[in-house]
A and B are shown apart, each in its own frame.
Chain A
Amino acid sequence: MSRRQLHNLSGAYVLNALDREDEVAFEAGLADSEELRAEVIELSDTAVALGLAVAPVEPSPSVRADLLARVAQLPQLPAIAEQPTLDASTVRTPGPRSIRWKWRALLRVPVLVPIAAVLAVLLAVVLGPALLHGHDDAALDDLSAARDARTTSVTMAGASGVALLSSHRLDAAALVWDSLPALEPGTVYELWYIRGGDPTPAGLIEDDAVAGDGQVLTGELRPGVQVALTVEPAGGSPRPTGTPLFVVEPA
Chain B
Amino acid sequence: MPYQPHEERLATGDPLRSTGDGLLERIASGDQQAFAELYDLLSSRVLGLAIRLIRDRAQAEEVVQEVFLEVWQTARRFDARRGTALTWVLTMAHRRTVDRIRSAQASRDRETRQGIRDFRPEYDSVSETVEVRLEHERVRRALDRLTALQREAVLLAYYGGYTSGEVAEMLQVPVGTVKTRMRDGLIRLRDELGVAE
Contact = CB atoms under 8 A, between A and B. Distances in A.
B107 to A, nearest CB: 15
A18 B72 contact: no
Given A47-B94, A63-B65, A8 B73 contact: no
Contacts of B179: 8-9, 11-12, 17
A79 B74 CA distance: 8
A10 B165 contact: no
Contacts of A150: 69-70, 73
B121 to A, nearest CB: 6
A187 interface: no
Interface in A116-172: 148-151
A56 B69 contact: no
A45 B88 CA distance: 9
Nearest to A150: B73
A64 B39 contact: yes
What is the size category of the interface that chain A forms with chain B? Answer: 35 or more
Interface in B107-161: 121-123, 125, 127-129, 132, 135-136, 138-140, 142, 154-155, 157-159, 161
A38 interface: yes
A155 B154 CA distance: 45
A17 B170 CA distance: 14
Contacts of B51: 57
Interface string A1-34: 0000000111110111111000000000000000
B170 to A, nearest CB: 12
Contacts of B123: 55
Contacts of A58: 43-44, 47, 127
Contacts of A70: 69
A59 B69 contact: no
A113 B29 contact: yes
A56 B39 CA distance: 13
A11 B186 contact: yes
B40 to A, nearest CB: 8
Contacts of B82: 37, 41
B93 A51 contact: yes
A47 B91 contact: yes
B132 A53 contact: yes
What is the size category of the interface that chain B forms with chain A? Answer: 35 or more
Given A78-B76, A80-B77, A71 B157 contact: no
Given A57-B48, A78-B76, A11 B135 contact: no
Interface in A66-82: 66-68, 70-72, 74-80
A12 B87 contact: no
A113 B28 CA distance: 9
Interface string B46-68: 01110110000100110011001
A50 B93 CA distance: 13
A112 interface: yes
Contacts of B75: 76
A77 B73 contact: yes
Contact of B190 (A9, A46, A71): A46
Given A53-B121, A56-B44, A45 B84 contact: yes
Contacts of A10: 183
Given A11-B183, A16-B98, A67-B68, A44 B44 contact: no
Given A54-B49, A55-B125, A64-B36, 6 more contacts: A12-B179, A16-B94, A50-B158, A57-B47, A57-B57, A59-B61
30 contacts: A8-B180, A9-B183, A11-B187, A15-B154, A15-B182, A17-B179, A43-B186, A45-B6, A45-B83, A46-B6, A46-B186, A46-B193, A49-B139, A57-B44, A57-B51, A57-B125, A58-B47, A59-B47, A59-B64, A63-B43, A63-B65, A67-B39, A67-B69, A72-B32, A74-B73, A76-B75, A78-B76, A112-B31, A113-B29, A150-B70
Interface of A: 8-12, 14-19, 37-38, 41-60, 63-64, 66-68, 70-72, 74-80, 110-113, 148-151, 223, 251
